[in-house]
Amino acid sequence: MARPVVAIVGRPNVGKSTIFNRIIGDKIAIVEDKPGVTRDRLYGRGEWLDKEFSIIDTGGIEIEGEDEILRSVRMQAELAIEEADVIVFMVDAKTGMTAADSEVAELLYRAKKPVVVAVNKVDNLQRVDDIYEFYSLGFGEIIGISGSHGTGIGDLLEAVTKHFPDSQDEEYGEDVIKVALIGRPNVGKSSLVNAILGEERVIVSDVAGTTRDAIDTPFEKDGQKYVIIDTAGMRKRGKVYETTEKYSVMRAMKAIERADVVLVVFNGEEGIIEQDKHIAGYAHEAGKAAIFVVNKWDVVEKDDKTMHQFTQKIRDHFLFMTYAPVVYLSAKTKQKLHKLLPVVDQVAEQHALRIPTHVLNDVISDAVAINSPPTDKGRRLRINYATQVSVKPPTIILFVNDPELMHFSYERYLENKIRAAFGFEGTPLRIFSRRKSEED
């Protein structure tokens, strides 16, 4: 199931990015003491006790004025509100309640979502009493916090997580392969869904961004059950960035989290652009099996070298996903469409592949014998043994004498040897080095 979504909203300069950074534990958002400096919506993952969630940091909402930046961040926040399960409404104890805060509250009333008010900059005891005026906003929960000191964050997360929807069991069985289609608008994802299903179940239009939300479609082929999760197209930054379709990034991320296999769909006519890397990166970072699907191949002018050249271009652009196979097809004419599902089956199987420990260690031993581990200041890396600890994605722990001695190039060498021995086609392979302890 997709994680619950928390959106942090509020007028500019109340400290949303600072709180966002504290919750996700990383310095991703730009923090600067100027109104409106966070011009982009940012996504992260947070955790409180045993509850994981996605979190959105929005640009500040400014109701009055038509300044381009303020219009942009207002729309981002409105879209974040639309998608969130819980909203953190941030205000500023130092400045007190403003007319803009009241305007933002009006926007949040219409959302009809759980709202927790976080009064930031409660940096000392004298400021504690300043939070009470914000009860007049009409929301029941008011939490005083300090982004600079980190106080009150636990209380805030406690209040937020109690509003999360009750977790439900996955609605599909283990034998069902869940396939998410992601890609820029107008690459033909909905047409591809229709072609696979053989019927017009998803609206298809030449207008980019027609599919506004994720749509689940179960079907069965040759005894194998599937669910296709179609998502709205992801847009690049620029003039189209402020449109509602751009908000499909979060929806696509939700779809990716639920999927077993992700189809990264390209438009064969247009080729590859920078945004495609970001889109594919979401699937890679989530540890999902992936297939590059080049659609509209029927309209591409080609000779006997075109496909090889396009594949090489994909490999050059996606060095971090050399494991993903490439399928060329046309959703419109159904050319080569029959090749897609067998590849989906194969990468799903590889994604769930588990290697017996003794067989894995034989491969690691052979690899070490061929190419000795590196040394650092006279100390040599020693690999005691390896074990696969999970699947989806396959994850391997190497127990070593000192993880600091594991150079990334040697880890990549071992990954290549493991892939050569066992395949793992279409799936990321995660390898971690851990110091061997007495318990191990």
Kindly state the helix (H) or strand (E) to which residue 197 belongs, with its residue range.
helix 189-197
Q: How far is CA 85 from CA 111, 388, 433, in A?
A: 10, 35, 37
For strand 326-328 and strand 289-295, is the pairing parallel, antiparallel, or unpaired?
parallel
Closest CA relative to residue 96, chosen from 131, 45, 139: 131
Are residues 133 and 92 in contact, defined by beta-carbon separation less than 8 angstroms?
A: no
Q: What angle do CA 46, 42, 54 make, to 5 degrees?
A: 30
* Residue 9 main-chain phi, psi, to 5 deg: -125, 165
What angle (nearest 5°) sits at the alpha carbon of residue 415, between those of residues 179 and 355?
70
**Sheet architecture: strand order including 395-400:** 383-390, 395-400, 430-435
| Annotated binding-site positions for GTP | 10-17, 57-61, 120-123, 183-190, 230-234, 295-298
CA atoms within 13 A on the CB side of 357: 9
Q: Residues annotated in the binding site, as ranges?
A: 10-17, 57-61, 120-123, 183-190, 230-234, 295-298
Instruction: List all residues 6 or more positions away from 354 whose beta carbon is below 8 Å from its beta carbon.
Output: 388, 391, 394
